[in-house]
C-alpha cells in the first residue's frame, strides 16, 4: 500500500459525510498523483493531517476585522486579494517550487478565488487542506532524497554538462512527480558537489545529508495545527504590509524573537524566511555582534550545543529555533549558516558564539578622536558612535537622576570632546543602528537644534501628531556629519532625516533601511496581532518609509540593497508625503555640495582602502547575480578555485595595507578569522576609513565656507533663513 493509499484508507469515512471542499480535494490529489520512487517508510510513521480549532476560527475573524478597519493601509478583502493570499501562502509553503507539481496546482487553483470570503468568516479548512497537501509532498520528497543517499552518492554522475537554477522562486512548477524526481537528483548532486569541493569525504557527506533530511522529515511528521494556522494567517496579514503579523500563543512569549536584554542568547533578531530562519539584525554589544562573523541575511541551517552533533533546523518553527539557540551564560552555541553573500544554498559555514547577556553599557554611545592634516592645517574631529537608541526605563521610573539614555550619554560625550580635545567638527556614526526608543531620537535632535519639530506621525485616520524639541539649549553647534548605512533604521532615520531637513549637517554613507512605520500589538482570543497603525514623516513632509534617508554624499557598502531593506519586502507600504511643518534651515548646502562630492570622489579614487572595498562589492555582486551553477565537477572546481583566489587576493591586499604578512592559502585566512573572532578583535577597516572620510568632508565644509564655523550660533541662522 502506498503512502497515498494508506492516508486515504485511514481518513476516508465509512459512509459519505459532509466534508470541506479542500479536504476532499486533498484526498483526491493524494490518490490521483503519480508517486515515482517509493521510499522505505517506517510503518509506524504516518502523517496525521492537521485541522483548525474553534479558537483559531474566532481569531481569524478578529484578525480580518482588525485588518480591514484599523490598519494604516485601507485594503478590503476582495477576489484579487484572495488570489494574492493564495500565492503568498504557496510562497511560504513551497517558495522554491520543489514540492508541488503543476498537477497539484491545477487542482488546488480551484479555491484560489474563494479564500478571501472564507477568511472573512473563519472558514479555515481550505488553508489547512493546502497545508496538509504540501506537508505530504514534503514527506515524499525527503523520503526520495533519503533513498537516493542510501543508494550511495558514488553512483551520481558529475561528468555531464548539467546545471541547476539557484533561485527557483520564479521558476515554472515541474510538470509531475517524475520531473520533480529529476530536479531532486540535481539538488542532491549540487549539495554533494559543494561539500566535495570543500574537502569533505563521501562518508561524511552522506552522514551530513542524511541527518539534514531526517531532521526535516521528523519535523514534517510532527506538524501541528498551530503551524498551519500561523503560516496561513501570516500569508493573509502580509497583504497589508510586511510588519503586520500574527503571533501564536507560543510565539507571543518571544515577541520579535529578540534575544537581548535580560535573555541569555547571542543577541540577534531572527525571522522566518520560508523554510529557513534568517538573521534580521544583530543587537549592538551582543555576543554575535562582538564575535563578528554572523551577518544580517544569513540563514541558519543547524544549531549545535557545545561539542554535540548539530541539529538541522530547516523547516523548524521560529520559536523552537530560538529556544535551541538560547542557553546558559558562557556556554557555546554553533550555528551553521548559509552566508548572505553565498551564491548557493549548499555553501555553509559554522560560527561558534559564546552566549551572554546584552548589557546596557555595552550598547552605550562612545567617543573617539581622529586627527587630520590637510595642506598644513590640522583638524581635530570628534567621533560619537551610537549603536542603538536606548534608555534605562526602570532607573528613570525609579527617579534615578543619573539614569542612562542615548541623549544624556551623547550630551556628556560632546562636553568631554569639546573640553578635552577642542574638536573642530563632529561625526555621528549611526551605521548598523536599528533604532530603539522614539523619544530618544526626538531628544537627540534637540542637542543640535535650537528648538522645533523633529518628526511627524500620521495614523490611519490621517490625524498627524508632531513631536517637538521644546528645549532651546544646544549642546553642539559646530559642523556635523552623520554616517548611515543600509542597517540604519527607524529612530536612526528620524534623527538623520531631521539633521538633513534642518540643514544642520550632512548625511554621508548609504541609503538607510526605510522602516518608517509604527506597530501596535493587540491581544486576540488566541495569540496576538502585530498591526501597523501609523507612519513616520520628516519635518519636510516626506516619509522615511520605503525610501529611507538618501545621503547627501554616497559611499558604497557591501550590504545588498536588493536583499536587505524595506523595499526588499513584499507589500511594503509606499513612500508618500504630507505637508511640511515650519522649521528653521541652519545652512543651505546647495552652493557647496557639488564641490564636496567632487573632493570626496577625488579622495576615494586615490584611496587603496576604497579601491579594495569597491573590488569586494563588485565580487559579491557578481556572486549574487549567478542564476545557476554547473553540476560538472571539473567546471565547478574551476569556478570554485577562482572564487577562492579572488577572496584570498582581496584579503591579502588589505593585510598589505596594514603592513601584515599575506596568507599563503584560503585555509590560513579562515583560521586567522576564526582566531580573531574567538579573541573578539573585530576591527573593520571599512569603518576606519569611512569615519576618516567623514572627518575630511567636515574639513571640506569649513574650507569651502567659513560660515560653517558660525553654525555656532543657530539662532542667527534661524533669523537669516525663512521658515519652511
Quick: pLDDT tens for 679-711.
Answer: 544 444 444 889 999 999 999 998 887 666 545
pLDDT of residue 45: 76
Q: Which residues contact 460 (CB under 8 A, 6 or more apart)?
A: 70, 71, 72, 74, 533, 534
Q: Rounded to whole angstroms, how far apart are CA atoms 316 and 302?
A: 10
Task: Give the separation between CA 215 and CA 301, rounded to whole angstroms.
Answer: 11
Which residue shows C-alpha cell 494574492?
84
Determine the distance from the C-alpha atom of residue 98 to the mean position of all C-alpha atoms in its chain, rounded to a whole number. 24
Told to judge if 308 belongs to the known catalytic residues of this protein, a careful annotator would answer: no
- The confidence band for 36, taking pLDDT boundaries of 50, 70 and 90, is very low
What is the structure's pLDDT at 308?
A: 80
Average pLDDT, the chain: 85
| pLDDT tens digit sequence for 212-250 | 899 889 889 989 999 999 999 999 999 999 999 998 887
pLDDT in tens, 648-686: 888 888 888 888 888 888 888 877 876 666 554 444 444
Using CA atoms, how far apart are residues 708 and 711, in angstroms rounded to an integer?
5
First to last CA, the chain: 77
In the block, cell 500563543 appears at 249
Q: How confident is the model at residue 597 (pLDDT cuts 50, 70, 90)?
A: very high
Answer yes or no: is pLDDT of 444 > 70: yes
Question: Which of the pair, 358 or 497, is modelled with greater confidence?
Answer: 497
Q: Is 501 a catalytic residue?
A: yes
Average pLDDT of 464-479? 94
CB 312 within 8 A of CB 212: yes
DSSP assignment of 181-227? HHHHHHHHHHHHHHHHHTT--HHHHHHHHHHHHHHHHHHHHT--HHH
> Residues 129, 443, 469, 501: which is the catalytic one?
501
Q: What is the mean pLDDT of residues 615-622?
A: 88
Q: Which residue has the higher pLDDT, 625 or 285?
A: 625
Distance CA 299, CA 337 (A): 5
Question: What whole-number distance in Å separates Cα of residue 182 and Cα of residue 187?
Answer: 9
Mean pLDDT for 433-439 is 91
Q: What is the model's pLDDT at position 11?
A: 35
Give tens-digit pLDDT for 147-171: 999 999 999 999 999 999 988 999 9
Look up 367 and say whether it is catalytic.
no
**Percent of the chain whose pLDDT exceeds 70:** 86
Give residue 18's pLDDT. 29
pLDDT, mean of residues 125-138: 96
Q: Between 354 and 532, where is the model more confident?
A: 532
Q: Which of 82, 364, 405, 490 is catalytic?
A: 490
Summarised one tens digit per residue, pLDDT across range 76-125 is 999 899 999 999 999 999 999 999 999 999 989 999 999 999 999 999 99
Cα separation, 154 vs 696, whole angstroms = 59
Selection from 296, 171, 299, 349 nearest residue 561 by Cα: 296
Q: At what angle do helices 633-657 and 608-624 cross, to 10 degrees?
A: 160
Band of residue 256 on the pLDDT scale cut at 50, 70, 90? very low
pLDDT of residue 683: 44
Mean pLDDT of 262-283: 77
300 forms beta bridges with: 277, 337
DSSP string, 63-130: HHHHHHHHSSS-----HHHHHHHHHHHHHHHHTTS-S--HHHHHHHGGGTTTHHHHHHTT--HHHHHH
Position 33 scores a pLDDT of: 30
Alpha-carbon distances of 594 from 27, 207, 359, 444, 510, rounded to whole Å: 67, 60, 43, 29, 17
Which candidate in 367, 515, 535, 547 is catalytic? 515
Strands 425-429 and 480-484: parallel
Predicted model pTM: 0.84
Rounded CA gap, 251 and 232, in Å?
Answer: 15
Among 14, 183, 198, smallest CA distance to 96 is for: 183
Please report, rounded to a whole number, the percentage of residues in the chain having pLDDT higher than 90.
Answer: 57
594 confidence band (pLDDT: 50, 70, 90):
very high
Mean pLDDT of 439-459: 95
Residue 70 pairs in a beta bridge with none
Render pLDDT for 499-519 as a digit per residue (tens, 0 to 9): 999 999 999 999 999 999 999
CA distances from 356 to 333, 364, 469, 496, 634 (A): 11, 17, 37, 31, 45
> Which residues lie below 8 Å from residue 667, measured CB to CB, with a gap of 6+?
none
Amino acid at each position: 500500500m502506498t503512502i497515498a493509499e494508506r492516508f486515504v484508507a485511514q481518513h476516508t469515512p465509512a459512509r459519505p459525510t459532509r466534508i470541506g471542499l479542500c479536504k476532499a480535494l486533498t484526498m483526491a490529489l493524494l490518490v490521483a498523483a503519480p508517486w515515482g520512487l517509493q521510499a522505505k517508510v517506517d510503518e509506524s510513521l504516518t502523517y496525521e493531517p492537521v485541522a483548525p480549532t474553534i479558537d483559531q476560527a474566532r481569531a481569524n475573524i478578529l484578525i480580518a476585522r482588525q485588518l480591514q478597519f484599523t490598519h494604516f493601509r485601507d485594503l478590503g478583502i476582495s477576489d484579487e486579494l484572495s488570489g494574492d493570499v493564495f500565492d503568498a501562502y504557496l510562497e511560504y509553503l513551497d517558495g522554491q517550487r520543489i514540492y508541488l507539481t503543476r498537477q497539484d496546482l491545477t487542482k488546488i487553483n480551484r479555491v484560489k478565488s474563494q479564500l478571501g470570503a472564507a477568511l472573512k468568516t473563519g472558514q479555515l479548512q481550505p488553508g489547512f487542506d493546502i497545508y496538509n497537501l504540501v506537508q505530504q509532498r514534503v514527506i515524499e520528497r525527503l523520503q526520495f532524497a533519503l533513498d537516493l543517499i542510501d543508494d550511495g552518492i558514488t553512483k551520481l554522475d558529475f561528468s555531464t554538462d548539467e546545471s541547476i537554477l539557484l533561485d527557483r522562486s520564479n521558476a515554472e512548477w515541474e510538470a509531475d512527480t517524475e520531473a520533480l524526481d529529476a530536479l531532486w537528483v540535481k539538488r542532491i548532486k549540487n549539495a554533494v558537489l559543494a561539500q566535495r569541493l570543500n574537502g569533505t569525504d563521501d562518508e561524511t557527506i552522506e552522514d551530513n545529508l542524511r541527518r539534514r533530511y531526517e531532521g526535516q522529515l521528523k519535523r514534517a511528521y510532527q506538524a501541528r495545527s498551530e503551524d498551519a494556522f500561523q503560516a496561513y494567517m501570516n500569508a493573509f496579514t502580509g497583504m497589508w504590509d510586511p510588519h503586520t503579523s500574527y503571533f501564536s500563543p507560543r510565539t507571543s512569549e518571544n515577541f520579535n524573537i529578540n534575544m537581548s536584554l535580560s535573555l541569555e542568547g547571542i543577541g540577534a533578531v531572527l525571522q522566518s524566511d520560508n523554510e529557513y530562519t534568517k538573521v534580521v539584525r544583530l543587537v549592538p554589544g551582543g555576543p554575535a555582534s562582538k564575535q563578528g562573523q554572523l551577518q544580517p541575511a544569513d540563514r541558519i541551517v543547524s544549531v549545535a550545543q557545545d561539542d554535540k552533533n548539530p541539529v538541522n533546523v530547516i523547516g523548524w518553527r521560529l520559536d523552537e529555533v530560538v529556544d535551541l539557540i538560547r542557553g546558559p551564560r558562557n556556554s557555546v552555541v554553533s550555528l551553521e549558516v548559509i552566508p548572505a553573500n553565498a551564491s548557493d544554498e549548499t555553501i555553509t559555514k559554522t560560527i561558534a558564539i559564546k552566549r551572554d547577556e546584552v548589557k546596557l553599557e555595552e550598547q552605550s554611545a562612545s567617543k573617539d578622536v581622529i586627527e587630520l592634516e590637510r595642506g598644513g592645517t590640522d583638524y581635530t574631529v570628534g567621533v560619537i558612535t551610537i549603536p542603538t537608541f536606548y534608555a534605562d526605563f526602570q532607573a528613570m521610573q525609579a527617579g534615578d537622576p543619573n539614569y542612562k539614555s542615548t541623549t544624556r550619554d551623547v550630551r556628556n560625550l560632546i562636553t568631554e570632546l569639546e573640553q578635552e580635545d577642542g574638536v573642530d567638527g563632529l561625526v555621528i556614526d549611526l551605521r548598523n543602528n536599528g533604532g530603539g526608543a522614539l523619544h530618544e531620537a526626538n531628544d537627540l535632535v534637540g542637542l543640535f537644534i535650537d528648538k522645533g519639530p523633529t518628526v511627524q506621525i500620521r495614523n490611519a485616520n490621517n490625524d498627524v501628531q508632531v513631536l517637538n524639541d521644546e528645549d532651546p539649549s544646544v549642546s553642539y553647534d559646530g559642523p556635523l556629519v552623520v554616517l548611515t548605512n543600509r542597517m540604519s533604521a527607524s529612530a536612526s532615520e528620524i534623527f538623520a532625516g531631521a539633521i538633513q531637513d534642518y540643514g544642520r549637517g550632512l548625511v554621508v554613507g548609504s541609503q538607510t533601511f526605510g522602516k518608517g512605520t509604527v506597530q501596535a500589538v493587540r491581544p486576540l482570543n488566541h495569540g496576538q496581532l502585530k498591526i501597523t497603525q501609523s507612519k513616520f514623516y520628516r519635518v519636510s513632509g516626506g516619509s522615511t518609509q520605503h525610501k529611507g534617508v538618501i545621503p547627501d554624499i554616497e559611499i558604497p557598502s557591501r550590504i545588498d540593497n536588493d536583499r536587505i531593506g524595506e523595499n526588499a519586502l513584499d507589500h511594503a507600504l509606499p513612500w508618500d508625503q504630507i505637508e511640511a511643518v515650519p522649521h528653521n534651515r541652519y545652512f543651505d548646502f546647495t552652493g557647496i555640495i557639488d564641490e564636496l562630492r567632487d573632493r570626496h570622489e577625488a579622495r576615494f579614487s586615490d584611496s587603496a582602502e576604497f579601491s579594495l572595498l569597491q573590488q569586494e562589492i563588485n565580487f559579491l555582486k557578481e556572486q549574487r547575480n549567478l542564476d545557476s551553477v554547473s553540476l560538472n565537477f571539473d567546471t565547478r572546481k574551476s569556478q570554485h578555485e577562482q572564487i577562492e583566489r579572488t577572496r584570498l587576493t582581496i584579503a591579502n591586499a588589505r593585510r598589505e595595507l596594514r603592513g601584515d604578512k599575506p596568507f599563503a592559502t584560503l585555509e590560513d585566512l579562515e583560521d586567522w578569522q576564526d582566531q580573531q573572532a574567538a579573541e573578539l578583535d573585530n576591527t573593520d577597516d571599512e569603518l576606519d576609513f569611512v569615519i576618516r572620510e567623514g572627518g575630511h568632508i567636515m574639513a571640506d565644509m569649513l574650507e569651502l565656507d567659513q560660515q560653517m564655523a558660525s553654525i555656532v550660533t543657530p539662532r542667527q541662522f534661524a533669523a537669516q533663513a525663512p521658515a519652511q
